[in-house]
Homo-oligomer: A and B are copies of this chain.
Amino acid sequence: MKNYFIAKSRRLRSTPYTERIENQGVTAYSVYNHMLLPAAFGSLEDSYHHLKKNVQVWDVAGERQVEISGPDSAKLVQLMTCRDLSKAKVGRCYYCPIIDDKAGLINDPVVLKLSEHRWWISIADSDVILFAKGLAIGQKFNVKIFEPNVDILAVQGPKSFALMEKIFGKKITEMKFFGFDYLEFDGAKHLIARSGWSKQGGYEIYVENTKSGLSLYDKLFEEGKEFDVKPGCPNLIERIESALLSYGNDMDNNDNPLECGLDKYVNLDSEVNFLGKEKLKEVRNKGIARKLMGVIIDAKEINVTKSVELINEKNLKIGELRSGTYSPHFKKVIGIAMLNKPYFEVSQTFKISINDSVFEGKVCDLPFI
């Protein structure tokens, strides 16, 4: 596949760490929430192996925050998500599908409850702030909504625990998954969550004090030498093997959360009021017409830049591939696909055309392992 340059401009915002990662050899960018998101430091596969063994520091400032505070903040946040947040606790992160009144997915952020009347929505790639503002204005909610100056640094990989302990002390190793706390570095308190967009373990540091964040960035590389720390970024291979869904790639506004296997974050029998609730009840009653599933393809290479049709032995389209990669673990191409009813059975076979050649594939459950 031919490569193309990215045309940088102020509209594709830099992060406080952009200059550092460019000195460290970033080779490709994606754009995420109107911001540069590093996408490769040379070979994806080398980076994948490194992430699974060691520790990486990621500039994921593109995961912007929407801050919602004020007396009606809990009501507004709940209105936007099908997950019941009535028992949400301060100091915890919640993965929350955000849907519209037709139950179409708008985003799949992690919501942080900062206090009873203050929330951060740590968003995937869509302008959730505009949805929140529109709803709040329309409903005359008493809330304040803005994008705070927060740039996330992720520390990911099995050695992230040892590295973070060296800097922040024993306390950080006691943090539970999807918990967060405030820890001090260089005179500033940083919100640190045990979370991150890999399944290799680690933390996300929500940096508000940019100056302290920059010196923390440098400190992570200094203290991380003994763990072979490297700069990195969300890794396509690792995230597909781990079946971490990507909004905009695997699912979008034309899909509802039940089609995407997000059932455990859909609380239809709760008392809470959210958009799309009736629509989702209809979907549940009728059964879903499409389902997001895994696929394994007998091929050694793929570059998915748009939906690719999956065809059965009768030459019917049974679904579409939305993400894919060669997996060093499975030694085949694996991917995430939306399968049409009635073809979402495990072991359903299909054909797919990649670079003008036809390959055989098989449907499987997610996660892959």
Chain A contacts with B in 120-136, Cβ cutoff 8 A: 125-128, 130-136
Give a binary string over A1-32; 1 marks a CB under 8 Å from any B CB, 0 the rest: 11111111111111000000010001111110
Select the stretch in A186-194, A210-218, A302-310 that faces chain B.
A302-310
| Contact-residue bracket for chain A | 35 or more
Copies of this chain present: 2
- CA A2 – CA B26 in complex, angstroms? 11
Q: Distance in Å from the Cβ of A103 to the closest Cβ of chain B? A: 12
Do A10 and B305 form a contact, CB below 8 Å, given A4-B28, A5-B28, A34-B125? yes
Q: Which residues of B contact A127 (CB under 8 A)?
A: 126-127, 130-131
- Docked-complex contact B101 and A39, CB < 8 angstroms: no
| Residue among B1, B10, B40 making CB contact with A323, cutoff 8 Å | B10
Q: Distance in Å from the Cβ of A209 to the closest Cβ of chain B? A: 19
- CA A132 – CA B303 in complex, angstroms? 35
| Residue among B7, B106, B137 making CB contact with A29, cutoff 8 Å | B7
Q: Distance in Å from the Cβ of A138 to the closest Cβ of chain B? A: 2
- Docked-complex contact A249 and B10, CB < 8 angstroms: yes
* A159 adjacent to chain B (CB < 8 Å): no
- Docked-complex contact B4 and A29, CB < 8 angstroms: yes
* A70 adjacent to chain B (CB < 8 Å): no
- Docked-complex contact B10 and A248, CB < 8 angstroms: yes
* A100 adjacent to chain B (CB < 8 Å): yes
Extra pairs beyond A100-B133, A101-B137, A133-B134 (8, CB < 8 Å): A3-B5, A9-B249, A10-B322, A11-B30, A127-B131, A130-B134, A134-B137, A138-B140
29 A-B pairs whose Cβ atoms sit less than 8 Å apart in the complex? A4-B8, A5-B27, A6-B6, A6-B31, A9-B236, A9-B246, A9-B248, A10-B248, A10-B249, A10-B307, A10-B323, A11-B125, A11-B248, A12-B30, A31-B31, A100-B133, A126-B130, A127-B127, A127-B130, A130-B134, A131-B131, A131-B134, A134-B134, A134-B136, A134-B138, A135-B138, A137-B275, A138-B139, A138-B140
